[in-house]
Each structure stands twice: as C-alpha cells, then as structure tokens.
Structure 1
Amino acid sequence: MDDLPGVPSNSDDMLKKLIEEFLQSKQKEITKQNRESKYNYKTVVVTGSEGGKPVYRHRRNNIDLHQVPVQIEQFPNDEGEEILDFVEDEYGQRPPSRWLKRLYVDAFGVHCNRINDWESRLPDIASKLEADVTGFSKIKLVGVLRGVDFEKGDVEIRDNIKLVRSEKNKVYARGQPQNFGLREFSPLGDGIIEIQATQRKRDETVSEYATELLELVLTTLRLYLGTPIDVNVTYQIPITYSPAATQRSAGRLQTLGDTTTISPFESGYLDILHGLISRSYDERRGKFGQPIEVALDHFETSASSETNNHSGITFSIIGLESLYKHFVDGSGSSNDIQRYAALVLGQTIPDLDSITVKENLEEAYGKRNQLVHGETVPRKKRGQLQQHILDYLRYSIVIFAHIWEMETNFSSLPIEDALIDDKARDRLRSRLDTIHVDNYLNTSD
C-alpha cells in the first residue's frame, strides 16, 4: 500500500515530524506567554548611598520576545516526553532530557533571537538528534597549534582535518552560553587545527576518538617536518546533542624554537603520509603495529624541543635499532645495523649516499656510547648530526610502514645478502624501488 499523504514513511521521518511538532508547540507557548504574561525581570539599580553603603531597589522591566532567555537550566524536565518515548521504542535507548534542551536552544537561540526562522534549520536539527540516537555523535576539536605556520592559506589534510592560519579577534570556539574564544597568538605565530570527529562505536566516546585523531595528525606533522610540533590548548565543541558541553584542556606551554612554515601546496604530501600512518595504527588496540610503535615512540622523544643534542641522537639510534634489528641475528652487532640502514636509505632516498649515512651513523653511535657509559657531555642545543639521525629515523619509519602494508615478515628482505651479492642487491633494489619516500616527505636538504 502506498504511503498516506502526511504520514511519515520511516522512523527517521517520524522523528523529524515529532521534533517539528515539539518546536511549533514551544514557539506558540513562548509567544503566548510573552503576550499575556509580559515576562517581568528584576533589574537591580543603585539609587544612592546611606552610611557609606550603596542602597539598592528593584525595578521591573517588561522585555520583548527576543530577550526571553532560553537557558538550558530553565528547560522543564518533562518537556518532549513524546520524542523521548519514541526514541526509546524505535532506537532502543532513552536519551536524557538535556539532549532536547540543547535542541531547544539550537532551534530558538540562547535568547530566542531565532524563534521565527527555526523551520529553515529543521533538517539539520533532526539529523543531529538522529546521529546521536544511532551512535554517530559528532564534535569539532579546535586546538592552538604551535611550531608551524601556514603560508598563503589553509592546509587541508583530510575532509575532516584542516590547519588554518589564526585570524585576529576571530572566535574559533564558543561555549553555550558562555563564550570561550581562541584568538590569535601572533608573537608565537600560532595556527589553528580543526578536526571534525564522528563516533565510531558505542563503547568509545566521540571525545576519545577526536583525541586519537589529533595525536595521529600531530605524529604526521612531526614526521613530515622533522621538527617539534605541539598543541597546548584544545576545545572540544559538540556538534550534535549527546557530547558534553564545550570542554577546554590546556597542557604545559613549551618553548619550541623556530617555527616551520608549510603551504597549501603540501596538502597532498600530508594527506598521503597521514593515510600511511593511519593504516599502521590498530584502532582496536590503540597502538601502531610493531615495530612502528617503538620507532615512533623514540622519534617523538628525539624530536621534542626539550631533548638535548646527545639525548636526541641516542633516542634516534634506539629508534633505528628497533627497525633494523629484524635483519640482525642474536650475534649481530651495532655495526650491522649501521650497514643495513645505510644500504636501505641509500637505495631509497635519491639525495642520500650510503657511505655518508654510514659515516654519520658511526659518529652518532660514538656520541651515544659517551652518554650511556656515563661520560660528561655538553648539553648542546639541536645540532646538524642530531637532525641527520632524526631524518634517517623518520625516513626509515615511512619505509617500514610501507613494507608493513605489503607484508609483515621484514626478515624476508635480502639485506644481508645484498651487502655481498650483486643479484641479491638487485632483488632488494627492485623491492625498494616501489617505495617512494619523497611522495610522503620532503627529503631534499
């Protein structure tokens, strides 16, 4: 039988119709109360002083419709019962009444300034509540990004992830009803990162997922630039009605040194690199696959602005060992790892020479040995050697992440044989030729 005119054809249409009837009823109610009761509000006025103390009196003002407050805390708990009952019957859960309180404010505005044009927003309002009841709640995470500046415009990594140059006096996060503003920190050259997150599963909050996305983006930026990048303030802003109200969190402000500049032309690199890193991430376990997890951990420590020159070299060396140890048997030495890394990087990165890589790694191992054996070493700032070894590590992470996608048995690569046999070297080169690191990173000096 055909659907009857005016009768919703499915649960989503019925939910939208109930929301529409609810808002129409509230609009009429508010308009009637404003006309008949003339909402009286007390205004405290100072009329003078007596004995050195101010004297107050109350003056009653009749305010117009557009000043009627629709604060969340003034929303009656028994409103919208028909909607709540329907959602419980159709979707298997009864939402808290605060969802409807937010819907109410979203439709009419905090002070009813949008009470006469809410119908144009009804489809968006209904889709938000539908997203919540079906387990696809949404939030926007806004963070103050430090250590990177944006040249010639915004940088879009994915459809839901964007890096923007902060604008003076622009509000990037607004609370309800308070105003939480993120404004430009021009002396530090701060930018803004915006991430829109949609809940993936019912046993995880959308807030947790947004934080996970942020960490993946920061890892991508650090790998791409090879410099310290951080977020010191974040706001999580609800898009739908289920997530908590705007949440602010702040970390410790660190001195990051020079700011690195990227442009919109680099969006393609970041998009591809972010995809590669994301595919190496096990969402169920909340970790990267081995050995990427260990190497990334040491990379993050080495790239930190608070890690001095010798410690940075040491952590980068450990990160390289966590990758190339798969080609060293129990009797292997650190010299083997140096030779393997030099061979792979020299074969993969066009501007790198295997001999130079090996010499730099030998020098780095010497400095690492000084530190781990208790010798007194100067706490220098980041040096050229530290940057070289950090770059070798980030290049290697991309190479191994690429190999990880193809196969998990790293030891199948003929690296050992390639050091002494031309045919094995050709086989290795043919495997490595499929990995174009310069598609993910800017590898030129």
Structure 2
Amino acid sequence: MNISIIGTGYVGLVTGACLAKLGHKVVCVDQLAARVLRISGGSAPFFEPGLQPLVEETIASGALSATVDLISAVQDSDVTLIAVGTPDADGHIDLSQIETASAAIGHALKSKPGYHVVAVKSTVVPGTTDGVVRAALEGAAGKVTGTDIGLCMNPEFLREGTAIEDFMAPDRIVIGASDARAAAVMQEVYASFDCPRVVMSLRNAEFTKYASNALLATLISFSNELASLCERTPGADAEIVMDGLHLDKRLSPVIDGHRVRPGILSYLRPSSGYGGSCLPKDIAALLAYARGKNVETPLLAAVAQVNAARTSAVLDLAEDRIGAFAGQRVGVLGLAFKSGTDDLRHSPAIHLVELLRDRGADVTVYDPVATDLARPLLNGTVKYAGGALEALEGSDVAIIGTAWPEWGELDWPKIRKAMRGNVIFDARNSLRSLDPPKDFKLYQIGNGG
C-alpha cells in the first residue's frame, strides 16, 4: 500500500521506517529541507536504538523516501498518517500543527480522484479528529467524510528507547474510524500484525491513548509518593517494598509454574519523576480537557503535582544526606529523560541540573547521546564533558541523572581516584547491583537510611 506520513519526529519516522520494512511504500513529509535531506541520505535525525540501520536499509531499497512536497506525497498515496506535534501550551494542548497539516492534506485531496483515508497518529484530546481535523480537511478539499474521505484515529503506543520493538510487536492496534470503509483500509495497513486490532469510534480511540498514558503517570507518581515516605522512615527501602508488591499475582501472575513479570512493573519503582514528550503534556492536556467539561479530576491533578515536586524533593534528600551543594563540584551522569533516547523534553535530569546550579553547585554534565543537545537548554551555565570519567574528575559528588546501563560498567575504582570527594548519589537507583570501592559512599532514592 502507498502511505504518506506528515511529520518525521519520533512517531512519524519510526512508523514510516517500520511500515516500509513490512512492505509498504512510504513517503515521509517534513517542512524542514535539511531534515528531509538527511533522511533521504539514509540518516536518522535523532537517536533511537535500531532506527539508523532501519532508515538506511529502507531508504536504500526505495521502500522509504522523504520529501518537502506534501501535495505530491498525498496525491500519490492511498493513506495519509498525521504525526505532527501536539505540544503543551500553558497547560492546554496546542492543535495548531494538527490543523495546519489537516488543511494542507485537504488542499492536496481537492484535485485527487477516488477515496483517501486520513488517520491521526498524534495524541489529541477527544473530539479533535471529528472536529478540528474533519473541518480543516473538508473545508480545504471540498469533499465529504464518509464518501470521499475516510477519517481515522490510530494512536501510537511507542516508548522511546524501544520504539521499533513496540511497533513491530505491538500488544494491540487501536483503530478509531468514521465508518466501516475507513476501518477496513486501516486493517489492511496492519494486515501482517498478529495482535488484537480493535476498531472503535474516533473519540474512544482518542480516549484510549490518554487512558494509557494517565495510568502510567499515575503508577509513577504513586511509586514516588511512597518513596518519599520511605525516605523519611529510618530502615525503609522503597525498592524492597516494591519487590514485595510486585509478587502479587494480580501484578505478576504465575503461569505453568513460572512467574510472569509484565513490563508495566517498571513503572512501579522509585524515580526522580516522569518526563519526555508524552506523559507531562498529555496529563496537562487531559486536565485542561476535564476543566473544559466542568469535571473534577483530583486524582490526575495529584499525579501531576507529585511529579512536579519530585525532582526538587530528590535533591532535598541528597542535601539531607551529604550536605548543601553550594560551592561543591558535582558531576552529573545522564541528561535524557530516560536511557535509550536523546530526548530532553521535560527531563527530570535537566531539571536536576538546573536546581543544582541554582543551589550554587559547580556542575559538569555528560550523557552518552544528549550532551550537545543540552547546551542550548542549559545556556552555557554548566561545563560539558566528553565522557563519564571527565565529568567526574575533581568532583566532590557524582550524581546519576539518567539510568543508562553504561554506568554499572564504569571503572569506579579509577573514577574514585579521579574524584576529589567520595559520594555517589543515584537519583535513578540504577546502581543497586554496584559494589563500589570501600571508601565510596553510595546514596539512593527511596531509602530511609
């Protein structure tokens, strides 16, 4: 099938490369000529494990291409996916890119004969697909949904760091459709997938995406609220508490004598808060949507509140354990919001660095893939290192900001000799299995000491 995708971010490019690998003919559209040129040369413009070779392969085979020509891309395809940004704007979802893309697609469809399906993959609040998107499409195309245009909402459930695996082996595919004909076309797009393909209304599909992200955010904030209590309780350890919680068979069932540990248990662990491109903005958008409907959502409000306070609380814990950061040299390892990605949006690690700087610390930072991307965010107010050892050399305190697995493999005895101090504060509990040098003091979150 010929598919056009508007937007070449995490969702758009991963979706495009994966669909191309599965045998579809895919063209990705972006307004940025430099980005299109880079993709056309077989290079992924951002870090995602496995994406670079996949883009290189599918570009070389001709199954994937990139262009700035939206009109030709849409007119030469059977299905168009909208994968543009829906950022947070003062606590509300910004649908301007969605509306602009929809109008541009409609303009391209005006002179295109035959039936065409447009599917929204971007996360949008309920009522957007059959509201803003439909109005912009029909207004620009002069055509009618259900007759000339099929309208769908096909939310993505991709985790940065495992996006390709998530796409290729999904636990479900949700297809919100304006009518049966549109749903059938989307079923054909995903015909090779052996997983539940659930067809529902447009608004239910929109709600399903928010329900998923709201649950994940709730689990994280629950874990961190419990961790905060453990941190103020001598002898308590939130990790051990969570280990015990996970053994509930409703969370980790025993099947044929073997315990199954679902991936969702990873959200029931102490951390320095959730971040990234999805959870913060989606919770904010859902709260704003609820306010617009005059519905009180105290649970979701508390989820956001706990998360907003968590990074500062983690740093307060560190100062309680090791003293004030003012005047101290601090090396921070990890800046991305989680390992496996270079995404710095709403990253707790970036917020941690900003708070350290504000509290008077002399900070040096390093991330395996995101150091250079952090420069404009931190405005040159910290030092940047080319490696972990360089970041920690001469420091009084080492802080783990992102749980990159590389940290457990570092030569910590060598690092100890290079440091001026002897303190590691692990804000992600990524070093629990580490046996540090004897004179190292390792502090972790969720622990009452």
TM tier, shorter chain? under 0.3
Tell which structure's C-alpha radius of gyration is larger.
1
Normalised to the residue count of structure 1, the TM-score between the two structures is 0.22
TM-score normalised per structure 2? 0.22
Greater helix fraction, Structure 1 or Structure 2: 1
